[in-house]
Structures are given as structure tokens and as C-alpha cells.
Amino acid sequence: MPRVKSGLDRLRAVGKPLLASRRVGLLCHQASVTGQLEHATEVIRSIPGARLVALLAPEHGLRGAAQDQVQVGAGRDRATGLPVWSLYGKTRQPTRAVLRGLDLLVADLQDVGARYYTFVWTLALTMEACARAGVRLLVLDRPNPLGGLVVEGNVLEGRFASFVGLHPLPVRHGMTIGELAGYLNARRKIGARLSVVRMTGWRREMRWEATGLPWVPPSPNMPTPDTARVYPGGCLIEGTNLSEGRGTTRPFEWIGAPFIEPERWAAALSAQRLPGVVFRPCVFQPTFHKWKGRECGGVQLHVNDQARFKPYLTGLALIATARRLYPNAFAWRKPPYEFERKRLPIDLLLGSARVRRQLERGVPLSEIEASWRGELAAFRRARRKFLLYR
């Protein structure tokens, strides 16, 4: 039996007074399952008096089939026959028509603990829509796969807000999605009628494997907890012409391009003695996405000390070293990216043009890391009163 009970696991016990005699909408995806792999739709429909009438889906769709940045339309769920409203297509926010007639919207989304992951921002926009429509919102909490102690990276600057970061957070925020809901509701002054069904058994130092919960990929390129661990740095590669490993069996762990010499790049990265990670030279051939069908030289990230590993700093090191070794081949990816058509994707991901300019000037990684310590300390203080687990 799992040692952690998610908010969904607890809903069957606490849900009747919350859901009975109410018309309920559900924001969910394929990872919205109990410790016994029962989907949230089944759990809600089993609660006496609850009427599940509509489903809402984030990026990748209700069943997680769509690839990254592929817009999804509305439809009907084959398993339940319910209408499915997409929040990653013509709109990223529930319309009044979608919310009309709902007494309560339940949100159950598995996050991965990195600012770029869009599910948190789907939830934030949904909170705003519910506040305007007067619909109560119930968030079912889930573990942060990266744990809840460590925070890392610069805090997003407001002028770089986008769908990979709508509010100033560090890249690795160390909060659960329920904690983030409370934090954003207060800090963004959303005013949603928000409740959170807390987990039991979860501690901030827990890594995913310690929870005992099954891992269901919350998106097509998040196949394992190992992927989530490297993602806060690996996702930065999306802002370059390097492959982040999409189209392979190890996305965000295999990084490279046809112009990369694996042994040379691995040696240069290893010389930096980054904590908790070993770089193995490798060759891979993506079946889709960047460099589809082309043989790419690169490295695989092997995390050998999770407690010391700094994924965001490692992502910056990958970029800085590739720029230095291959100045005529390396390039920043051009827009559009995540509904933005003007700003550089790397600036949206970094949440700042400052960090990109530091990389371009060859500023040492130790100095770049030192430059965000003050803002991280301020974030830790700001988040403290919103933490639900000590």
C-alpha cells in the first residue's frame, strides 16, 4: 500500500459533504489516479449524490496523447460520455459558458515541480475564471516529485510572464500544486473560493519513490521520475537548437545535436565538477522533433546523488559549454513558442534576459548562481505561510 495518500485518495473519505447534491466539473488528465490507479472520474462518480457533468483538460489533452505545444480541441470522453473542454487550444481558461451551471470545479493535476510546466498556469487561469463566475474550486493535492525542501534558480521577472511562467517563481519552487494554488490565489489577488484536500503521509524531504504512489506520465515526454529530476535544466534546451531528447526514450536526459562531438563535450562538462551528475558521451537519433532522423552526438545525464544535484545549474552548464565549443553552430531558438511570437523562447524559459546575457558574456556559472541568492531567500520567506506540510 502507498505510504502517501494523495488528495484524490482521500476524496472518497471526505468528499461526500463537499460534492453531494452538486454539479461538478473536473480538471484532470491521465495521471489523475489513486494509489490503486483508479481515475478521478471514477472516484467522483462513486461519491453518493455527486453529479459529474463536465471534464476540462490541460496541455496534452485528457488522455495525454498530444505532444508538446500541440493545441487540442473540445470533444467527448469515450470512457464517460462527458464533454471535454480543452484549456490548451482556442482558450487557456474556462469560459463562462463552460462554468455555467457548475456548483464546484475539482482540479486534480500531477505537477513536476518546475516553473515551466504548464499545468500550474492552467490551474492559475482556471482559478481566475472561477473567481469571476463565483464557482468554488477544490484542488486535490499531490506530491512534488522533486520534494519540497530545495528551491533553485532565478525568480521570473514580471515582464517575461508567459504560459511557461505567469507569476514570479524560481524554476524549482519546492511546493505542491495545492500549496501553489494558495500562494497564487493570495499573491496574484485572484480571490477564488479555494479549498485544498491535503495529502496524508507526505513529508517535504520525500522523493517520488518514497511515496509508494505509482508514476503515470503526466505528459508524453515525462515517462519516469528520473525525467522529472532533470527537467528543470533539460527544459532550457528547448530554447536552443540542441535536441532535448524528444523523440527518444530518454527525453531531457539525452542532449545533443549533429554538430556535437560527444567525447569532447562530455569532457568539458565533466571538468566543471557539477554536483551529483555524471556526463556520459552518447549518440542518439530522434524519431520526431528537432533533428528528426539525424544522428546527434551528445551526452546523457546520469544523476548519481539526488541530494546534491542542481538540475537548473546543470542546464545552464550544458548551454554555456555548447556555445563555447561550437560558437558557429549553436543558436538560440527563434519564436514562436508557447503562444508568444516576439520574445526569444530562452528568455521566456529563463524568465529573464539577464541570465541569457550572462551566458553570452561567458560569466562563470558560480557568479550566475550567486546573482539569484537574494531573490531566492525572499521567495522562501514569501512562500512560508502557504506551506501545508512541515
* pLDDT at position 29 over 90: yes
Share of the chain above pLDDT 90, in %: 94
* pLDDT at position 72 over 90: no
Q: Can you point out the beta strands (E) in 242-286?
A: 254-257, 277-284
Higher per-residue pLDDT: 373 or 69: 373
Specify the pLDDT at position 223: 97
The reply to whether 389 falls in a domain is no
Q: What does pLDDT average to over the chain?
A: 96
Domain with 287, as residue range(s), is: 225-351
| Boundary-marking domain end, from 169, 187, 216 | 216
Please check whether residues 241 and 158 belong to one and the same domain: no
Residue range 192-211, pLDDT digits in tens: 999 999 999 999 999 999 99
* pLDDT at position 68 over 90: no
Specify the pLDDT at position 65: 81
Distance CA 388, CA 252 (A): 30
Q: What number is the average pLDDT over the span 154-172?
A: 97
Distance CA 168, CA 160 (A): 9
Q: In what order do the strands lie in the sheet with 194-197?
A: 75-76, 83-86, 51-57, 23-27, 104-107, 136-140, 194-197
Distance of CA 384 to the CA centre of its chain: 21
Please check whether residues 206 and 248 belong to one and the same domain: no
Specify the pLDDT at position 112: 98
Please check whether residues 185 and 249 belong to one and the same domain: no
Please check whether residues 133 and 198 belong to one and the same domain: yes
> Hey, how many other C-beta atoms are within 10 angstroms of the C-beta on 283?
12
The reply to whether 338 falls in a domain is yes
* Residue 165 DSSP symbol: B
Please check whether residues 174 and 241 belong to one and the same domain: no
Please check whether residues 206 and 240 belong to one and the same domain: no
The dihedral through the CA atoms of 141, 145, 150, 153 has a sign that is negative
Specify the pLDDT at position 69: 83
* pLDDT at position 33 over 70: yes
The reply to whether 387 falls in a domain is no
The reply to whether 238 falls in a domain is yes
* pLDDT at position 319 over 90: yes
Q: Where does the pLDDT of residue 245 fall: very low under 50, low under 70, confident under 90, or very high at 90 and above?
A: very high
Share of the chain above pLDDT 70, in %: 100
Specify the pLDDT at position 184: 98
| Boundary-marking domain end, from 162, 196, 216 | 216
| Boundary-marking domain end, from 216, 249, 264 | 216
Specify the pLDDT at position 1: 58
* pLDDT at position 70 over 90: no
Please check whether residues 233 and 212 belong to one and the same domain: no
Split into its structural domains, the chain has a count of 2
* Beta bridge pairs of residue 26: 55, 106
The reply to whether 378 falls in a domain is no
Specify the pLDDT at position 140: 98
Q: What is the CATH number of the domain that holds 73?
A: 3.40.50.12170
- Which residues lie below 8 Å from residue 20, measured CB to CB, with a gap of 6+? 47, 48, 49, 50
By the 10 Å C-beta count (0-12 exposed, 13-18 middle, 19+ buried), 165 is classed as buried
What helix, strand, coil percent values describe the chain, rounded to 5?
35, 20, 50
The reply to whether 272 falls in a domain is yes
Please check whether residues 200 and 256 belong to one and the same domain: no
Please check whether residues 182 and 245 belong to one and the same domain: no
The reply to whether 390 falls in a domain is no
Q: What is the CATH number of the domain that holds 276?
A: 3.90.1150.140
Please check whether residues 55 and 183 belong to one and the same domain: yes
The reply to whether 163 falls in a domain is yes
The dihedral through the CA atoms of 9, 14, 18, 22 has a sign that is positive
Residue range 129-155, pLDDT digits in tens: 999 999 999 999 999 999 999 999 999
Specify the pLDDT at position 234: 98
Q: What number is the average pLDDT over the span 39-48?
A: 96
The CA–CA distances, whole Å, from 77 to 74, 80, 86, 269, 374 equal 10, 6, 12, 47, 47
Please check whether residues 192 and 116 belong to one and the same domain: yes
Residue range 212-235, pLDDT digits in tens: 999 999 999 999 999 999 999 999
Specify the pLDDT at position 324: 98
pTM reported for the whole predicted model: 0.96
Please check whether residues 200 and 248 belong to one and the same domain: no
* pLDDT at position 36 over 90: yes
Residue closest to 29 by CA, chosen among 60, 74, 66: 60
Strands 23-27 and 104-107: parallel
Cell of 46: 462513486
